[in-house]
Amino acid sequence: MKTSLSILTSLGIATSTLLGAAAVPPPLPPTVPARSAPSSAPRIVAAPSVAPVSVPVPGGPTVAALVFDSKEKTYDAKVGELKAVFKFTLTNTASTEIVVNSVRTSCGCTAAQLPSQPWKIAPGSGGEIGFTVDLTGKFGRITKSGTVLTSVGQQVLLLHVNIPQQPVAAARGGDRQKNMQIATADRQAVFRNDCATCHVQPALGHKGKALYDTACGICHEAEHRQAFVPNLRALNKPTGPQYWQTWINYGREGSLMPAFMKSKGGPLDDDQIASLVEYLESDYKADPSLIPPIGLPAPAPVRPAPLKTF
């Protein structure tokens, strides 16, 4: 009897334990979100923002309502002048307001000045648009342009400059012409013989800005910079460490741009080139407004791709 009671008691305890456990449902497994089937719809990519183009309102004023004192002017520069300044006067002859949004110049050496931007011109009023052309390294007759972008259309203005030959270049024309002929045949010749006095010796032991001033600035920052020598502050292409290092190391074959690295016959070691790249990258960033929408490819690692400005 005692044994049976013990068994029943054990069974009762086991039964109550089982019933108690059954009263509390076990936790459910975590819910895994269902994967949606891949969409066959094409991926939509936002188009790059484009500056709005003003279109004349039908029946409204056109760009002809802006009367200019002239649409083409000529400036006769004096010997030694490095800038040509132009002024164009315009009047709004329409019965409604006309807005000049901006002025697009033909190149980086020409800058435009507006009274304000945007410039709102009331009926019967007007003002001046100014232009400044950098004449550094140029001579002969050159032509630049400025496109005036307005709320009623566009107007192109032409700027002609007659530039006399600079006397410094004329006095040294014989030697310079001879040296250029030598450099055209062998661009590394600037680092040898008499040319080394200007192109090598002043740069010895320098780095960074001091190296740029003595090794690069002698051509790129010269007061009478030649037209074929680019203005590094007005490049119309993206730049970066690889861009600067490629041009410094290898220059460009078929031009007067020499290779500056020692293994190519130049005067600079790796540390000097690295310091020069760092300086150019920090102080000579390309102006985004001068870069075309579709940029030119970066120079190849070993041999630079042909670029118009070098």
The per-residue pLDDT for range 138-154, each reduced to its tens digit, is: 888 999 999 999 999 99
| Domain boundaries along the sequence of the chain | 63-163, 167-290
Q: How far is CA 141 from the centre of its chain?
A: 27
Residue 161 has pLDDT above 80, yes or no: yes
Q: Tell me the fold of 167-290.
A: Cytochrome Bc1 Complex; Chain D, domain 2 (1.10.760)
Pick 233 or 263 by higher pLDDT: 263
Pick 296 or 162 by higher pLDDT: 162
Please, which residues bridge with residue 86 across strands?
131
Answer for the pair 191, 268: CB distance below 8 angstroms, yes or no.
Answer: no
Confidence of residue 157 (pLDDT cuts 50, 70, 90): very high
CB within 8 A of 111, min separation 6: which ones? 105, 131, 132
**DSSP conformation class of 254:** T
Strands of 126-134's sheet, edge to edge? 66-68, 83-92, 126-134, 110-113
Q: Which CATH number fits domain 63-163: 2.60.40.1120, 2.10.109.10, 2.60.40.10, 3.20.20.20?
A: 2.60.40.10
Residue 88 has pLDDT above 80, yes or no: yes
CB within 8 A of 115, min separation 6: which ones? 127, 128
Confidence of residue 188 (pLDDT cuts 50, 70, 90): confident
Q: pTM for the whole thing?
A: 0.41
**Whole-angstrom distance, CA of residue 129 vs CA of residue 122:** 16
The per-residue pLDDT for range 264-292, each reduced to its tens digit, is: 888 899 999 999 888 888 877 666 665 55
φ, ψ dihedrals at 166, nearest 5°: -70, 140
